[in-house]
Structure 1
């Protein structure tokens, strides 16, 4: 093998190693935060760098349109769910408890019912499940969800105070578990 081919092969090997090992080349703080992800949150991903989010609107309970810019300055746990989605329904009580536990001027749980979820159906669901701390946002045409890269439900996106996506998970999670609360407190620190 010539020297040029050896250098190229070495560069390719290094690139493949970096892709196979998510902590390769990362700073220690990001590696430490990733180590805090609960063992049962197998699909929870913390991004290497913040990502932009959509400016698409979704609907408030009163029918008015809002977008994520209205939460600027807050860490947001943005959950996409539906009344007909069993894993979504299962995790809603833990999201409600998360909002009751950590909700503040700097931290909010934002739940958005994606697809056909009429407000009366959402209200009945919230009443039946005794959900008192979560908003009743909707995205009936799923434009907001699609622009956020949601391809199934539930999906939860963590957005930093600057309005950028920093983490994401697919599937059900236990949001009020002690180890998840510890992770979310760490992520939301200034």
Structure 2
């Protein structure tokens, strides 16, 4: 039985309370997800970034959702590798309870981002830019890619440096458990 099957079986049997404990979610880590380091909740960055219309966006705009925040760049080979998996994760779980937020940090021209997304088939992720790296600096991003997991209150609760297989059973189980943990709250 794989991790995802075990998770869903536990949820169906009414074991929702078991996942309220972060240690239970931590136990779901396998493969690349072992690089996901859970920490005590701390406020995420407040610096704004922009969408393709030039509108300012902030992480506060996503409060109430579990957020997988990914810092990336068009020139980053590991980013190219993991972006389709992040797109699939958004397609699977995105909605009222969960959002993948990908922020191109540094010098990434909008047309280059559009081309990047088209080349690798990304269709479910927003194009968001942090050209002056304000949010990346504020959140201590030192290399790319970096992925940060935010709780529904907008607090950073986990971080991963480097790319990962976001389509793995372990990744899916962790995201499903995070969504379930705060459902109805």
User: Shorter-normalised TM-score: what interval?
Assistant: 0.7 to 0.9
Structure with greater contact order relative to length (CA < 8 Å, sep ≥ 6): 2
The structure 2 residue matched to 1:139, chosen from 124, 130, 135, is 130
CA deviation after TM superposition for structure 1 residue 31, in Å: 2.4
Partner of 2:112, secondary structure, is helix
Mark the runs of 5 or more structure 1 residues left unpaired by the alignment.
1-27
Q: How many pairs align? A: 162
Q: Is 1:127 aligned with 2:118?
A: yes
Secondary structure of 1:42's counterpart equals helix
TM-score by length of 1: 0.82
**In the TM superposition, what are the counterparts of 1:93-104 in structure 2 within 5 Å?**
93-104=84-95
TM-superposition CA deviations, 1:141-175 (whole Å, max 9, x none):
11110101101000000101111111110000111
The structural deviation recorded for 1:106 is 1.1
1:4 aligned partner: none
Q: Does 1:40 align with 2:32?
A: yes
Query: What is the distance in 2 between the residues matched to 1:127 and 1:30?
Result: 37
2:23 paired residue among 23, 31, 51: 31
For 1:97 and 1:167, how far apart are their aligned partners in 2?
A: 20
Higher Cα Rg: structure 1 or 2? 1
- How does the TM-score come out when normalised to structure 2? 0.84
